[in-house]
Structure 1
Amino acid sequence: MAELITVDDPDDPRLSDYTGLTDVELRRRREPAEGLFIAEGEKVIRRAGDAGYEMRSMLLSAKWVEVMRDVIDEARAPVYAVTPELAERVTGYHVHRGALASMQRKPLPGVGSLLAPESGNVRRVAVFEDIVDHANLGAAFRNAAALGVDAVLLTPRCADPLYRRAVKVSMGSVFLVPWTRLGSWPEDVDLIRSAGFTTAALCLSEQSITLDALAARQHEKLALVFGTEGDGLTPEALAAADAHVRIPMDAGVDSLNVAAASAVAFYATRPASA
């Protein structure tokens, strides 16, 4: 059972994991370097724990202590009870959900091991190229979890899916879908292809086929590749892909944002048994 510790000093060093949560650049550097991430809200904290992430500490306002009592009883990490005002001074914003937890990251798997047959029946993979908006990435992970995508691969410049906003938007779905980061892009398309996947780039190009046409081919293993909302996929990624695919649009609209496009593509290409 974790010890419940009341803290009344915002400069208490025991709260250092939670300082400056609104400083995006600071947290982007600090969290991966220190091997931590922040889970916000009861549901997200519980999902992180269920996914096997180890808790470093928890920060709770008084009214959330009883709500999280079972988590406190099972935790081996310190639990800090603070007032909402102190939580805001430490984090830099009003913590609406009243519960934060600092969690320990896990080592990322290699691409080969993630896609290997022994990892499970991995048939559909999403590849996100240079998605830097945390909300879009979190929403895309939520779509992947909801629509049965087996794994997610991120290019080196993609945002951190364990950054607080991405985790929050995903409602903890980033813990439900296996993922890793590619070491080199688009060279690592060869790793995906060697694992038996056909790579399909979502884009507008002269040689693109419709999403329905792609789905009709019923590829045994399919990797869907998505680019940024503004620029789309890089020319190098397009050249490396096995197929170009477009989502047909009406009313003069030529594209959807990456989160919406991923939901459409995931649903359209779901396996026949799903």
Structure 2
Amino acid sequence: MPDALDPRFADYAGLRDVELRKSLEAEHGLFIAEGEKVIRRAVAAGYPVRSVLLTRRWAASLDDVLAGLGDRVHVVDDDVMEKIAGFPVHRGALASMERRPLPAVAEILGGTSGAGAGAGDAPRRVLVLEDLVDHGNVGAIFRCAAALGVEAVILSPRCADPLYRRSVKVSMGAVFAIPYARMENWYSGLEELRAAGCRLLALTPDQGATPMDEAEMGERVALLLGSEGDGLSSRWLHEADEPVCIPMSPAAMDLGVDSLNVVAAAAIACHGLMRGTARP
């Protein structure tokens, strides 16, 4: 009977220890997919499986995915799973997946990355995230973007990792569906988007900005979305072609509710971003 200290389970150690996971995953080039649906979506997106760790009651439901993996499949009791992961794994299945090289921003904007939904078409609607550090928020925003038809996501250098376990889990695998890239340079990062023909819209809580549903939409639009606390930096706000806002109810403003959380704002803004984007 395997135990929690078995070296075959090293990929799954301390899943709630953020610093440990950042170091381990970077060193070994891996990420963790949790739950049957997410594992299936990771495999379907072409990520190679390093190993699978699951409890007995979940083995049958993943039979087709596990076929051919041989000794890379580890079936353990619930208590062993909890000791390895450091918490109760309610979905009963974890998979260690190999990361793939992240494409450059230019590849994503040119539609040449060859990965994810929409590969082969230059994206017309792009979401750009500046310094969002909460993994759950990043995952939720990817899910909103995928659901509402956004075709690519660009991350600033300090954004949280979309393939961190919590991001993947919250996104329900949507991080596998949208091509994304990370800027190398925050200071001049927007220049590459503008050079690709993107009109830059900066989402702000300032009610003096253009309402999102009245903003000018060009052939290619990139929506800039700022960090959880401070919003967009003054530099990115200044560099944008137009600041846009989500109009708030006057009654809400009277009560001091002058903005939405970043995920809710992203969902509404992504919906507005898609005006006039139907492809032939």
TM category (shorter chain) comes to over 0.9
Distance apart, 1:59 and its partner CA: 0.2
1:102 aligns to what?
Answer: 96
Q: Distance in 2 between matches of 1:198 and 1:57?
A: 43
Q: Give the one of 65, 69, 74 matched to 1:71.
A: 65
CA distance in 2, matches of 1:25, 1:270: 37
Query: Judging changes above 3 Å, is the alpha-carbon distance between structure 1 residues 35 and 249 closer, same or farther for their aligned structure 2 residues?
Result: same
Using the TM superposition, give the Cα deviation of residue 77 of structure 1 relative to its aligned residue in structure 2, in angstroms. Answer: 6.5
Aligned to 1:125: 126
What is the CA–CA distance in structure 2 between the aligned matches of 1:195 and 1:219, rounded to whole Å? 12
Alpha-carbon distance in 2 for matches of 1:248, 1:271: 17
Q: In structure 1, what is the Cα distance between the partners aligned to 2:203 and 2:217?
A: 17
What corresponds to 2:225 in structure 1?
A: 226
Q: Does 1:34 align with 2:28?
A: yes
Residues 175-190 of structure 1 aligned to structure 2 (within 5 Å): 175-190=176-191
Question: In structure 2, what is the equivalent of residue 171 of structure 1?
Answer: 172
TM-superposed deviation, 1:272? 2.4
Question: Does the CA-based 8 Å contact 1:39-1:168 persist in structure 2?
Answer: yes
Letter in 2 for 1:169: V
Task: Please say if 1:16 is aligned against 2:10.
Answer: yes
Deviations 1:28-53 (A, max 9, x none): 22212321000000000000000000
Worse-superposed segment, 55-64 or 29-38: 29-38
Q: Which aligned pairs between 1:73-222 and structure 2 lie closer than 5 A?
A: 73-75=67-69, 78-118=72-112, 119-205=120-206, 208-214=209-215, 217-222=216-221
Which residue type is aligned with residue 244 of structure 1?
P
What is the identity, as a one-letter code, of the residue corresponding to 1:143? C
Specify the code of the residue in structure 2 equivalent to 1:223: A
- Give the structure-2-normalised TM-score: 0.91
Q: Distance in 2 between matches of 1:131 and 1:210?
A: 23
Structure 1 pair 206–263 and aligned structure 2 pair: CA distance change class (3 A): closer
Contact 2:207–2:247 (Cα < 8 Å) also in 1 = no
What are structure 1's unaligned runs of at least 5 residues?
A: 1-6
Partner residue in 1 for 2:54 = 60
- Counterpart-to-counterpart distance in 2, 1:47 and 1:82: 23
Rounded Cα–Cα distance in structure 2 between residues aligned with 1:220 and 1:149: 14
2:273 is matched by which residue type in structure 1? Answer: T
Note the alpha carbon deviations across 1:227-248, whole angstroms, 9 max, x for none.
Answer: 1232111111112211111110
2:116 is aligned to none
Counterpart amino acid of 2:262? Answer: V
User: Is the CA contact (8 Å cut-off) linking 2:108 and 2:122 kept in structure 1?
Assistant: no
Pair 1:273–1:220, CA change in 2 (3 A): closer
Mapped to 2, the partners of 1:222 and 1:273 lie a distance apart of: 10
Cα shift readout 1:98-146 (whole Å, capped 9, x = no counterpart) = 1000000010001111101554141000001110111111100000100
Q: Tell me, yes or no, if the aligned pair for 2:129 and 2:155 is still in contact at 8 Å.
A: yes
Aligned to 1:4: none
1:53 counterpart SS class? coil
- Aligned-partner residue type, residue 57 of structure 2: K
Deviation string 1:72-116 (CA, Å, 9 cap, x unpaired) is 114367100111100111110001011000000010001111101
Aligned residue number for residue 3 of structure 1 = none
Moved more, 228-237 or 127-136: 228-237
Assess if the C-alpha contact under 8 Å between 1:31 and 1:37 holds in 2.
Answer: yes
1:207 to partner: Cα distance: 6.1
Displaced runs of 4+ in structure 1, greater than 6 A? none
